[in-house]
């Protein structure tokens, strides 16, 4: 088990490095959001509706402040003020061969459309079942929900207690001059063979990568 965790941790470091590199690339092109007129008409209506979901706003110590809409949490004009954080999670799902499942986000997504990312990145909602903090159970339930929505993974195929909660990271990442992320992200690992049926409104493509193939794959997209 220790060997497996060490290998997985190595993959996590590579993945987090790619996130940091992407953040630097985006930061070079970010412009001030002040005065930019809000216009959602060009976005997919399903994704626009999701902006009304209630995320969990937290302080710097991940203590719950209250509900905030997904839209509020992802507007750069709010993020740049430095006071609005929300709780999120990133799932790294490995099959029994040890290959990591990556997804390419749909072009319909408002933030980071078309980007490759880990298996599933999203947010727990401000509801009782996903606010539970003991053993990060609320976040794990949210992971079950989003794996089903994005990748068609049967919630019963992965028990919430099968997710291994590794750590939390705080990061800020602009997607463009209007939208971005500022969150405390729970990193969840799970090793299991599952059937997937990607939702095209959420996911453009999926790929399983071995440890040996992960770095060359990331390098191709970070050039």
**Separation of alpha carbons 66 and 63, rounded Å:** 9
34 burial type by CB count under 10 A (0-12 exposed, 13-18 middle, 19+ buried): exposed
H or E element at residue 142: helix 137-151
Catalytic positions, written as ranges: 121, 183
What is the distance of C-alpha 95 from the center of its chain? 19
> What is the 3-state composition of the chain as percent helix, strand, coil, each rounded to the nearest 5?
35, 30, 35
Strand pairing category for 180-191 and 85-94? parallel
What is the distance of C-alpha 119 from the center of its chain? 8
Strand pairing category for 116-117 and 100-105? antiparallel
What is the distance of C-alpha 17 from the center of its chain? 15
């Amino acid at each position: 088990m220790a060997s497996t965790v060490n290998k997985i941790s190595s993959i996590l470091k590579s993945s987090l490095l790619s996130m940091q590199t992407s953040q630097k690339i985006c930061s070079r092109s970010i412009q001030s959001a002040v005065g930019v007129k809000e216009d959602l008409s060009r976005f997919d209506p399903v994704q626009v509706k999701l902006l009304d979901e209630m995320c969990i706003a937290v302080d710097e110590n991940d203590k719950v402040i209250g509900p905030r809409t997904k839209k509020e949490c992802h507007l750069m004009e709010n993020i740049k003020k430095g006071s609005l954080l929300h709780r999120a999670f990133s799932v790294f799902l490995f099959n029994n061969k040890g290959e990591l499942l990556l997804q390419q986000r749909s072009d319909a997504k408002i933030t980071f459309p078309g980007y490759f990312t880990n298996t599933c990145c999203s947010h727990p909602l401000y509801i009782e079942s996903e606010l539970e903090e003991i053993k990060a159970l609320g976040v794990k339930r949210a992971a079950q929900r989003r794996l089903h929505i994005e990748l068609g993974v049967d919630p019963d195929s992965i028990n919430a207690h099968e997710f291994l909660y590794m750590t939390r990271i705080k990061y800020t990442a602009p997607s463009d001059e209007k939208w971005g992320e500022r969150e405390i992200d729970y990193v969840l690992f799970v090793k299991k063979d599952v059937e997937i049926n990607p939702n095209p409104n959420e996911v453009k493509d999926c790929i399983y990568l071995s440890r040996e193939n992960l770095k060359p794959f990331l390098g191709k997209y970070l050039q």
